[in-house]
Amino acid sequence: MQLAVIESAENPFALAKYVDGKYFAINELPTLTAALKIPLAQLREILERSSGPEIHGRELPPLAPESEVWGAGVTYLRSRDARKEESGTPDVYQKVYEADRPELFFKANFRRTVGNGDVVGKRADCTSTVPEPEVAIVINAHEEIVGFTICNDVTSRSIEGANPLYLPQAKSYLGSTALGPRITPSWLAPEHSKMTIAARITRNGEVVWSADTALSSLNKSLEHLVGYLFRCQTFPDGVVLSTGTGIIPLLDFIMLEGDVVTIDVAGIGTLENEVMEIPLDINKKFQNALKS
Counting contacts by CB under 5 A, is residue 132 touching Mg ion? yes
Stretch that binds ligand DO4, among 39-47, 67-75, 120-128, 220-228 (CB under 6 A): 67-75
Stretch that binds ligand DO4, among 44-52, 66-74, 267-275, 282-290 (CB under 6 A): 66-74
Q: How many residues interact with Mg ion (rule CB under 5 A)?
A: 3
Counting contacts by CB under 5 A, is residue 103 touching Mg ion? no
Reference 145, options 76, 226, 75; nearest CA is 226
Residue 74 contact, options Mg ion, ligand DO4, none, Cβ 5-8 Å cut-off depending on partner type? ligand DO4
Between 15 and 151, name the residue whose CB sits nearer to Mg ion. 151
Cα Rg of the chain (Å, integer): 19
Residue from the set 61, 147, 244, 269 that interacts with ligand DO4 by CB under 6 A: 244
Residue from the set 33, 113, 245, 262 that interacts with Mg ion by CB under 5 A: 245
Between 14 and 130, name the residue whose CB sits nearer to Mg ion. 130
Stretch that binds ligand DO4, among 69-77, 177-185, 188-196, 275-283 (CB under 6 A): 69-77
- Between CA 95 and CA 117 the distance in angstroms is 37
Stretch that binds ligand DO4, among 39-47, 68-76, 208-216, 259-267 (CB under 6 A): 68-76
Stretch that binds Mg ion, among 40-48, 58-66, 243-251, 276-284 (CB under 5 A): 243-251
SS (H, E, C) the chain: CEEEEEECCCCCCEEEEEECCEEEECCCCCCHHHHHHCCHHHHHHHHHHCCCCEECCEEECCCCCCCEEEEEECCCHHHHHHHHHHCCCCHHHHHHHHCCCCEEEEEEEHHHEECCCCEEEEECCCCCEECCEEEEEEECCCCCEEEEEEEEECEEHHHHHHCHHHHHHHHCCCCCEEEEEEEEECCCCCCHHHCEEEEEEEECCEEEEEEEEEHHHCCCCHHHHHHHHCCCCCCCCCEEEECCCCCCCCCCCCCCCCCEEEEEECCCEEEEEEEEEECCCHHHHHHHHHHC
Binding mask 159-178 for ligand DO4 (x = CB under 6 A): --------x-----------
Residue 83 contact, options Mg ion, ligand DO4, none, Cβ 5-8 Å cut-off depending on partner type? ligand DO4
Report, in Å, the least distance between residue 274 CB and ligand DO4.
Answer: 21
Counting contacts by CB under 6 A, is residue 103 touching ligand DO4? yes
Residue 181: asked if its preceding bond is cis (omega within 30°), the reply is yes
Q: Give the distance from CA 202 to its chain's centroid.
A: 20
Counting contacts by CB under 6 A, is residue 259 touching ligand DO4? no
Looking at beta carbons, which residue is closest to ligand DO4? Answer: 73
Counting contacts by CB under 5 A, is residue 153 touching Mg ion? yes
Counting contacts by CB under 5 A, is residue 160 touching Mg ion? no
Within 10 A of 127 (CB to CB), how many other CB atoms are there?
A: 12
Counting contacts by CB under 6 A, is residue 74 touching ligand DO4? yes
Q: Name the site residues for ligand DO4 (rule: CB under 6 A).
A: 71, 73-75, 79, 83, 103, 132, 153, 167, 244-245
Q: Name the site residues for Mg ion (rule: CB under 5 A).
A: 132, 153, 245
